[in-house]
Amino acid sequence: MRHLIDFGDLTRREWDELYARADKIIDAPEKFIDVCRGKVMASLFYEPSTRTNFSFQTAMLRLGGSVFGFADPRSSSVAKGETLKDTIKMVSGYADVIVMRTPWEGAARAASLYSDVPVVNAGDGGHMHPTQTTADLTTITRLRGSVDGLSIGLCGDLKYGRTVHSLIKALAKFKDIRFFLIAPRDLAIPDYLRQFMRENGMPFVEVTGLEPVIPQLDVLYMTRIQRERFVDPLEYERNKGIYILTRSKLARARENLLVMHPLPRVDEIAVDVDDDPRAVYFRQARFGMFARMALLSDLANQPRKTPEPVEIGKGPICHNPICITQTEHYLPPLIRYNGGVKCCAFCDTPL
């Protein structure tokens, strides 16, 4: 693995190796304190973050490395109109690994075309968030022994929720999982992912009600309605507060259910659930730090490599208004096929 942009790019074997390392780190973190000694991580956060930013920073510090970057792009030259390409070319000259989060979909893929060092996607708009997935899979594997064979409910904003998109990509690599996609019709998963699930033989049902399916689940993955990504504020108003998990709703759930959430939560899990032993979201956040330590111990230690030059584009080929190609016109016109459908290789929008 050179970059981590989309969990779909990882093989099952690469994930198993990454998990094996995360597992060892959780058991004996003191054995890893020098693994990134002398290495430097750049942390470019163009969008708000608490867990992802802090867990990446603490992961690098716990490995003996150091960190620089920004959590507010107004404090960098982006505010003067610098292109992403120039920012990345320069930052990749200073750092051994780049972790970036942006509101633009496909930005991490774009950055990887110009970086001499590995790029990690820490969230690109409503598209993908693969390192949250490393936290999620680590949590399930540590607490349930395996991911195979589980019934998993994904609930909330499945349209804009990038953590769910990455998790679906990852779960294609496991066996015999049954999916319950629980969302209002407005916020159902994007078509390209529905196609992806069909193509990969991932059995799923789409339902709008949470309570009727709770008794069947091994994992309930709650998500926040992603207010900041709605084009129409009325659509947000219609859907906010639609799912609220309470302690009483868990009465009919399995004894060993895992209630997960990438956090931050708004109101979709009532505070009275926190003390239920099945609520594992705070542990999930801590597992995320260990999973990121495992990832950085590999990526930050890779040799520098100048990428092959790419074609210079002439403007966007995709209509997604928040695709990175809308603002960075020099990007090459890359395409890829999802379930036979021609899509933008940056943001996966069908062309």
CA–CA dist 205, 155 (Å, integer): 12
- What is the C-alpha to C-alpha distance for residues 77 and 181, in angstroms, rounded to an integer? 41
CA distance linking residue 222 with residue 210, whole number of Å = 10
Beta bridge partners of residue 154, listed in sequence order: 181, 221
Shortest CB 94 distance to ligand NCD, Å: 25
Give every CB contact of residue 171 below 8 A, 6+ residues apart in sequence.
147, 152, 177, 179, 202
Contact string 52-81 vs ligand NCD (x = CB under 6 A): x-----------------------------
Residue from 124, 173, 178 nearest 9 by CA: 173
For ligand NCD, give the closer residue by CB, 263 or 291: 263
Report residue 183: phi and psi, to 5°: -160, 150
What's the token pair of residue 328?
């960075």
CB of 67 to ligand NCD, least distance (A): 17
As given in the structure block, the two tokens for residue 233 are: 């504020």
For residue 163, state whether it binds ligand NCD (rule: CB under 6 A).
yes
Q: Which residue has the tokens 């949250």?
A: 132
Measured from the CB atom, is 288 or 316 closer to ligand NCD?
A: 288
Q: How far is the CB of 340 from ligand NCD (least distance, A)?
A: 29
Q: In the complex with ligand NCD, which residue's Cβ is closer, 129 or 292?
A: 129
Q: Cβ distance 331 to 349 under 8 Å?
A: no
In the complex, the smallest distance separating the C-beta of residue 317 from ligand NCD, rounded to whole angstroms, is 26
- Which residues within the stretch 93-152 sit at the binding site for ligand NCD (CB under 6 A)? 123, 129, 132
| Residue list 211-270, contact with ligand NCD (CB under 6 A) | 224, 226, 262-264
Nearer of residues 126 and 316 to ligand NCD, judged by Cβ: 126
Please answer whether residues 149 and 176 qualify as being in contact, where contact means their C-beta atoms are separated by less than 8 angstroms.
yes
Query: Would you say 260 and 281 are in contact if contact means Cβ atoms under 8 Å apart?
Result: yes
Q: Shortest Cβ distance from residue 283 to ligand NCD (Å)?
A: 14
Choose, by CB under 6 A, the member of 24, 51, 89, 254 that binds ligand NCD. 51
Q: Which is nearer to ligand NCD, 96 or 136 (CB)?
A: 136
Report, in Å, the least distance between residue 199 CB and ligand NCD: 25
**Which residues are at the interface with ligand NCD (CB under 6 A)?**
51-52, 123, 129, 132, 162-163, 224, 226, 262-264
